[in-house]
Structure formats: structure tokens, C-alpha cells
Amino acid sequence: MFRRPSSRRKSGSHAIELNLVPMMDAFVTLIAFLLYTMAFVAFISVETPLPTSSPLEVAEALKEKPLQLTVSIREDDVQIWSAFDKVPSKVIKNMEPGIPDFKLIHEHLISIKQQFPSENKVVIAPAGLINYEAIIGAMDSIRLLEPTDPAIFAKNAAGVDEQIKQLFPEVIFGNILGRD
Amino acid sequence: MGAYRSIRGRKRRDKVNKLFELQLTSMIDVLVIILVFLLKSYQTSTNNLTTVPGLQMPISSSIEDARDSLQVIVTPEGITFENVRIVDFVQTEATAGASQGAEYKFAAQDLDEEGRRIVALYDALVKAKEKSEFLKAQSTVRDDKGQPMPFDGVIAITADKRIQYETIRKIMYTSGAAGYKIFRFIAQRKET
């Protein structure tokens, strides 16, 4: 069982060399795989439904006189108004022609949401010359709540106050059928 | 060859071979750092959405990942549906070949219904819808009533950020007329 003193002395002197070559092979393969399958541009989507309504649905909806908050984006300004005058109309000047002041729009919409916390729909009506970037920016300021925004609570299905996570998540284009 | 013929030469060769060992540890260190960086910033794509060179996509703070669907791409040169160019915009002398200031004008014969519907896009969308409905009818996947799954009617719109709403509106109108009820605007995720 016990080794001779001479062999005991020698046993500790052999250094074990780790064979790093297969490990390096594995790393190179992993890096190649990750680089190949990596998405360098992350796509996100903003969904909006086609506005559809039957005359019966419209008549039913009009009985209650909904908020029907509308954001009209024009070349020089943005108007936020309600079709049934539930909120006073507000005109916000654009920062530059065709570039809305997203911060002011967002702040005004927060104040409306505080009055109507259960409302989720906004009708958006951009003018024909407004560019796509401005529309996406406006939709972001309408739909999303920033972490720095004041907390807004709405009653959930169980009747309990719950903090809302999105401002007006349902954005509908109101002038697809129309013209300028 | 001649240099190693002597005993001294052979000894020198053996000495060189013994001394030359590739230092893999530092290389492993570098590879580990690259691997950690890649794993940290790794995000796989769960869709087949494509883009084209020169297309400047808008940036959005939205957090919803873009899911797979039929895709319309609008570039300054024309409209592409499922990687097939179906409409070419009319280029003026000033804008031909230049992405800046392109006008996105349609040729008169490309539009109907008082300039609101894009004929070629409508035809392509209807064909794609019919194909999708046919495939769903052939599929064994059924709903609760035993009927084929309904057509989802989702169209992804990838457009250059400089495109005007007038063009987007025509695309939405055409898609709506062809039976597509949900528009999915594709944008680039804002870096946080």
C-alpha cells in the first residue's frame, strides 16, 4: 500500500499540463455559431387594426358618447381632441415642420389618461405629407408609458385598482379611407 | 537539411523543438472574453422579416417583438411584397438613383379606385391570402368546431422612415380591401 520513500519523492514532481486545444476548438465553434445566428438588427412591431364597424355597432357606441380621443397630426401642429367634447381640444405646435413635439403630446395624453384611466383607444389621423418616422414616434408617445411617468391606476376586472402599463395601447388610423 | 547533418546540428534542432510551445492560455482568455460578450448581447431572430440595403428604418421604443407574417417593403424605389418587386415608383430626374428626396410617386396605371388602391399590390395580396387559406384548408389543424383555422390577415409593413403617410395610407387601404385586418409596422428597436 505504501510507496517507497524514493517513489514518493518523485511523484510530486510531474506537472500536469492541461490540453487546451480541444477547449479552444469548442470556443471557436461556439463563437462561429453565435456570430452566424445572431440578429444584429432587432426588429420590433407596432400593431394597429383596420378600423371596421357596422352601422349597428356605431349606433350602439354612440349611445354612450365615447371619449373617442383623436390625434390629428398636421405639418405645423398636432391637435388632440375628443369627437364628443369630453376633453377640451388642445393644439401643440410642432418642433419643426412635420416633426411633432412628442414630449408635450405624451404629457397631455397622460393628463387625459388620468381622467379616463379605463380608456385604451386613440384615433390617429396624420396628414398625407407627414413622414413615417414622425408617425411611429407619435404612436410611441401615445401608446407607451415611461418609467419616469406618474403612476396611473385603473380598476381591473375584479374591481381592484391596478397600475396601468401602457398609455393608450390601441391606436387606430382614422383616415385610411379618406383623403387630405 | 545540411545544417542538421552534424550531431551538434541535431542537438540544436531538438532544443528548438522543445522550446517552441504555443502559448494557448492567453488565446483562451481572449476567446472566453469574446464568448461572454457574444452571449451577453445574443438575441436570436424569431422571424423571417428582411430588410434591404439603404432602407432607413424608423426607431421605436416599443417592446413587442416582430413576429413572422407576410411582408411589404417600401423603399424609395418601389414596393416589394414577399421579396418580389411589384411596383416601381416614378423617379424624376432629380431623384433617380438617389435615396434622399425620393418622391414615392405612383404611375397612373398602378392605381385605381380614385388613386387609393395599388392594383399590383392588391393582386399579390389576394393571391397570398388565397394560398394561405388553401394551405389552412389542407392542414390537419382545426378549430373547436372542426373548421380550418381562419386566415390571420396580418400584414407587416417595413418602410423607409422618410416615406410619407400618403403612401402608407394607400398600402393600408389596399391591404384592407384585400382582406388584411391587422397592420404590423416594423421598426428598429431603440437601444437603451
**Tens digit of pLDDT at every position of chain B (192 positions):** 445 566 666 666 666 566 667 778 888 899 899 989 888 877 666 667 777 877 889 999 888 888 888 999 998 888 999 889 999 988 766 555 555 545 578 888 899 888 889 999 999 999 999 999 999 898 888 888 888 888 889 999 999 998 899 999 999 999 999 999 999 999 988 876
Summarize the confidence of residues A103-117 as an average pLDDT: 93
Of A50-54, A123-127, A156-160, B88-92, the one with minimum mean pLDDT is: A50-54
B33 in A contact zone (CB under 8 Å): no
Summarize the confidence of residues A33-54 as an average pLDDT: 81
Under 8 Å between Cβ of B38 and A34: yes
Instruction: Select the CATH number that applies to the domain covering A55-173 from these four: 3.80.10, 3.30.420, 2.60.120, 2.60.40.
Output: 3.30.420
Asked if ipTM goes beyond 0.85, one says no
Under 8 Å between Cβ of A147 and A129: no
Claim: this prediction has a pTM higher than 0.80? no
When CB atoms are compared, the residue of A21, A44, A176 closest to B172 is A176
A129 in B contact zone (CB under 8 Å): yes
Q: Check residue A168 and report its DSSP letter.
A: S
A19 in B contact zone (CB under 8 Å): no
B86 in A contact zone (CB under 8 Å): no
pLDDT of residue B42: 73
Residues 65-104 (A) with a CB less than 8 A from some CB of B: none
User: What is the residue extent of each domain of chain A?
Assistant: 55-173
A81 Cα to chain B: minimum distance (Å) = 21
**Interface touch B182/A47, C-beta < 8 Å:** yes
Which residues does residue A126 pair with via DSSP β-bridges, in sequence order? A73
**Interface touch B164/A130, C-beta < 8 Å:** yes
In the block, residue with C-alpha cell 421605436: B60
Under 8 Å between Cβ of A172 and A51: yes
Within B46-153, strands assigned E span 59-60, 70-74, 78-81, 84-88, 111-112, 117-118
